[in-house]
Amino acid sequence: MAFLKNLLSGLEKKKVLPVQKKFPIVCPHCFRKFEPEEVVFRATHSKEDDEEYALQEDEKLNAYLEKFRMEGIEELEAVIDPRTIPIEKSVYVDEVLISIKDKYDIETKKRLCPFCHNDLPYSAGRTPSNIIAIIGASQVGKSVYMTSLIHTLETSTAHNFNAACMPINSDTSRRFRDQYQDPLFVQNTLVESTQKEKKQEPFIFQFKFKDTQKPPLSLVFFDVAGEGMVEEEYIDLYANHIKNATGILFLVDPLQLSAIRSKIILNQGDKNGDFTSKYQESRDVVVTLAENFIGLQEDGKTPIPTAIVVTKSDMLEYLAKDGDDYVKANSNMFNNYVHKAYFNLDEHENISGEVQRFIEKVDLAFMDAIEVHFSNVSYFAVSALGQNPVEGKVEGVIEPTRVDEPFLWLLYKLRFIGAGERVK
């Protein structure tokens, strides 16, 4: 039996994708999907005496900006349709059109989405683009989790999978560092509640394997305002990416579960850590998603792989003290586990089962709502900080627990990494 299992997991590990070099593009701004041939280009210069190349208003871009209540741009360089350019003036790399020379023989590499005219990342069309939506009620820990996850991917997870993870460009790098990473990991302060009125820009990272036979991935992370997650208009305008997501991380906060909140506070004793006073039912988030898009899919269910992630698992230790009621003191939730080279299914099944039983006990209504609307789910528990902050500050070194596991499960489900089981 052990031999068979070994053989099977070996085969599983060898499963690699055929080498594909051209991929459909999903615009990280408007989320329309199109082929790499359909991109348009922005000229890199203007000519006042040529109407075609004069600075002009870009109606498509302005319509996009207006939709998000952002100021339009008066004049921009012309947009060039590559179909008007002779083939010898077009440059293809790995079958993907990446630059053209315009009629003045001036090169442009600025590819734009044909629908909204926003810039496309340079990897567009050359790597599969995977939108990872991080959703959940207000204050469940989305912004902190995204920061801790990306930080972990860059510093250890990528290495464990013989890959490198890095921001797609210097703008993403700067924004992520200034708004998320440095405040948390350098200044040890927590980010403010994400604003509902503000459009969140995507954070695009590349996950590139050292083995060139494996295609790299573009990961598009979105951090949304939890407050908006129960409003139809918000989802429609600011969270459209969820509908087009390749994977969903659905975060649930144990401190917002009425069944256990008071118990945790009580058991915490005189440690005056932060406790969110905001309270929003996770189930209401499912309800909004259901009426907005899941309900329109076949059987009213979405097949998008969805990781249900219990956050702030460090706080569950206060429950464990109370005996076996909800969580065992020796629960796997409290032990970090590092998946290396492949996704360990054994380890995953243990934790998933445990968290599922936990949610069943504390929020059955949410569990039922999930089962009715999501067909591809698994359960996880993470602590992005490894501690409870006090007055908006963390102390010492941040030691996350199991923070990359839900993400690796998504990669496994999307067949970017293999899986294996321990030999019993």
Ligand X SMILES: Nc1nc2c(ncn2[C@@H]2O[C@H](COP(=O)(O)OP(=O)(O)OP(=O)(O)O)[C@@H](O)[C@H]2O)c(=O)[nH]1
Question: Which partner, ligand X, Mg ion, Zn ion, none, binds residue 354 by CB below 5 to 8 Å per kind?
Answer: none
Nearest-angstrom CA–CA distance, 36 and 219: 18
- For residue 262, the tally of other CB atoms under 10 A from its CB is 9
Half-sphere exposure of 211 (CA within 13 A, CB side): 14
203-209 and 163-167 beta bridge pairing: antiparallel
Please check whether residue 413 is in contact with residue 15, taking contact to mean a CB–CB distance below 8 angstroms: no
Question: Which partner, Mg ion, Zn ion, ligand X, none, binds residue 29 by CB below 5 to 8 Å per kind?
Answer: Zn ion
Judged by CB under 5 A, the stretch of 80-88, 151-159, 186-194, 234-242 that binds Mg ion is 186-194
- For residue 397, the tally of other CB atoms under 10 A from its CB is 9
Nearest distance in Å: CB 182, ligand X: 16
**3-state SS, residue 375:** coil
Which listed residue (190, 219, 307, 316) binds ligand X by CB under 6 A? 190
Please check whether residue 348 is in contact with residue 378, taking contact to mean a CB–CB distance below 8 angstroms: yes
Which C-beta is closer to Zn ion: that of 114 or that of 167? Answer: 114
If one asks whether residue 147 binds Mg ion (CB under 5 A), the answer comes out as no
Per CB under 5 A, contacts with Zn ion among 344-373 are: none
If one asks whether residue 193 binds ligand X (CB under 6 A), the answer comes out as yes
If one asks whether residue 30 binds Zn ion (CB under 5 A), the answer comes out as yes
If one asks whether residue 288 binds ligand X (CB under 6 A), the answer comes out as no
The alpha carbon of 267 is separated from its chain's Cα centroid by a whole number of angstroms, namely 34
The pair phi, psi for residue 79, each rounded to 5°, is -100, 130
Please check whether residue 129 is in contact with residue 222, taking contact to mean a CB–CB distance below 8 angstroms: no
Alpha carbon dihedral 142, 144, 145, 147, in 10-degree steps, equals: 120
Angle at 249 between CA 246 and CA 250, to 5 degrees: 125
Which C-beta is closer to Zn ion: that of 220 or that of 345? Answer: 220
If one asks whether residue 34 binds Zn ion (CB under 5 A), the answer comes out as no
Question: Which partner, ligand X, Zn ion, Mg ion, none, binds residue 116 by CB below 5 to 8 Å per kind?
Answer: Zn ion
Nearest distance in Å: CB 384, ligand X: 4
Judged by CB under 6 A, the stretch of 108-116, 140-148, 170-178, 197-205 that binds ligand X is 140-148
If one asks whether residue 139 binds ligand X (CB under 6 A), the answer comes out as yes
Which C-beta is closer to Zn ion: that of 246 or that of 331? Answer: 246
List the one residue out of 134, 111, 133 whose CA is nearest residue 124.
111
**3-state SS, residue 313:** helix
25: Cβ contacts below 8 Å, ≥ 6 apart: 33, 34, 35, 36, 39, 113, 120, 124, 125, 129
Which C-beta is closer to Zn ion: that of 156 or that of 240? Answer: 240
Half-sphere exposure of 278 (CA within 13 A, CB side): 13
If one asks whether residue 115 binds Zn ion (CB under 5 A), the answer comes out as yes
Tell me, residue by residue from 206 to 225, as one string, x for binding to ligand X by CB under 6 A and - for no binding.
-------------------x
Which listed residue (82, 216, 226, 420) binds ligand X by CB under 6 A? 226
Nearest distance in Å: CB 367, Mg ion: 24
**How large is the C-alpha radius of gyration of the chain?**
23
If one asks whether residue 413 binds Zn ion (CB under 5 A), the answer comes out as no
Nearest-angstrom CA–CA distance, 202 and 181: 15
Please check whether residue 173 is in contact with residue 202, taking contact to mean a CB–CB distance below 8 angstroms: no
Nearest-angstrom CA–CA distance, 79 and 71: 20
Tell me, residue by residue from 147 to 186, as one string, x for binding to ligand X by CB under 6 A and - for no binding.
----------------------------------------
Which listed residue (143, 218, 256, 331) binds Mg ion by CB under 5 A? 143
Tell me, residue by residue from 313 to 332, as one string, x for binding to ligand X by CB under 6 A and - for no binding.
-xx-----------------
Question: Which partner, Zn ion, Mg ion, ligand X, none, binds residue 27 by CB below 5 to 8 Å per kind?
Answer: Zn ion
If one asks whether residue 123 binds ligand X (CB under 6 A), the answer comes out as no
If one asks whether residue 339 binds ligand X (CB under 6 A), the answer comes out as no
**Residue with smallest beta-carbon separation from ligand X:** 226
CA distances from 323 to 204, 251, 256, 335, 386 (A): 44, 26, 21, 18, 22
Which C-beta is closer to ligand X: that of 188 or that of 193? Answer: 193
Question: Which partner, ligand X, Zn ion, Mg ion, none, binds residue 144 by CB below 5 to 8 Å per kind?
Answer: ligand X
- What number of chain residues touch ligand X (CB under 6 A)? 26
If one asks whether residue 282 binds ligand X (CB under 6 A), the answer comes out as no
- Which residues contact ligand X by CB under 6 A? 136, 138-144, 190-191, 193-194, 225-227, 274, 276, 311-312, 314-315, 383-385, 388-389
Q: Which residues bind Zn ion (CB under 5 A)?
A: 27, 29-30, 113, 115-116
